[in-house]
Amino acid sequence: MNKLRLVQLLESVLSKGNFNEQSNEITFHCPFCKHHKKKLNINLISQKWHCWVCGVGGYTIFNLFKKLKVENSYYVSLSKIIGKDLSIIKNYDKKYETPTLPKEFTPLASARLKNPETKNALLYLRNRNITSQDILKYNIGYCDGGKYGGMIIVPSYDKDGNLNFFTGRSYYDVAFKHLNPVVSKDIIGFELFINWNEPITIVEGAFDAIAVKRNAIPLFGKLILDKLKLKILEKNVRRINIALDKDAMKIAIEMAEYFMSNGIIIHFVELPEKDPSELGFKNITTLLKEVKKMTPKNLLEYKINEY
């Protein structure tokens, strides 16, 4: 079993965890009780998981994924990593609700500036180098109450302008910073703004895509799912820039290998310790200009270094 791949898969579902190689255990913020400390413990060998605060737990990661209502592609990835027979899970196809914005959602473009929450949300975005043009383009808003209270909401729309996903990010300094709806991630992030005749850039999060600005697709995680893969092939995309964080290098290599085998030109964006959203538009634009075409030889060197 590839423990690093399992860690990456878990982090794509539960966000960043604390991994202890000696004990083979990783801890996360619990998505069930949302305690401010990382109290959800998962043993990678036994697969047992347990939250020390709310007591929720189980004996397999499959069971955890089922409780979290993840989509089918995550079960497929899990089965490949742990060697579980696909026949056990191939018929598990969770039906998801149609995504809708929280009822408390307020677009910042039309929000009352006298509201302290509006000011706090705008201050957070300003510190993230999000411009007024970005706010208008992506219909960025916030919630001042409810499940997503104190969070920036970044919607994603499909080619017809229909909501296909949204992500929540706290604009306060709290432990549980991210919250996504229980809807399928097998979508094309920011599809409304994508020109398939031009090079596309694949990034992890919404703020990363906003930082790149031009033709960037967020995965809302680390894994590229089927719908985006198929759309790229269907649209005969000629070039892809892959700009994932350093901890997702193996996933980026697999992605590059897949698309190169389909005749697509791949460029790796060598990110420093910061992700695109932290680098900002000017720096990420410079990196995009400096990238070189990935060759089979380069790809092999990356694989040797990573594996």
DSSP 221: S
- Both 81 and 109 in one domain: the answer is no
With 80 as the cut, is the pLDDT of residue 97 above it? no
Structure-token match 């992030």, residue found: 189
Q: Which domain holds residue 241?
A: 105-306
Confidence class of residue 74 from pLDDT cuts 50, 70 and 90? confident
Kindly report the length of the chain: 307
Specify which residues 155 forms β-bridges with: 166
Is 98 inside a domain boundary? Answer: no
Q: What CA–CA distance (Å, rounded) separates 131 from 194?
A: 20
Is 216 inside a domain boundary? Answer: yes
CB atoms within 10 A of CB 270: 11
Say if residues 215 and 189 touch (Cβ distance below 8 Å).
Answer: no
Q: What is the CATH number of the domain that holds 37?
A: 3.90.580
pLDDT in tens, 124-138: 999 999 999 999 999
Name the residue among 141, 139, 135, 157 with its Cα closest to residue 103. Answer: 141
- Both 109 and 170 in one domain: the answer is yes
Is 99 inside a domain boundary? Answer: no
The pTM of the full predicted model, rounded to 2 decimals, is 0.73
Q: What is the CATH number of the domain that holds 122?
A: 3.40.1360.10
If one counts the domains in the chain, the total is 2
* Token pair belonging to 294: 């990935």
Is 100 inside a domain boundary? Answer: no
Is 78 inside a domain boundary? Answer: yes
Confidence class of residue 91 from pLDDT cuts 50, 70 and 90? very low
- Both 61 and 124 in one domain: the answer is no
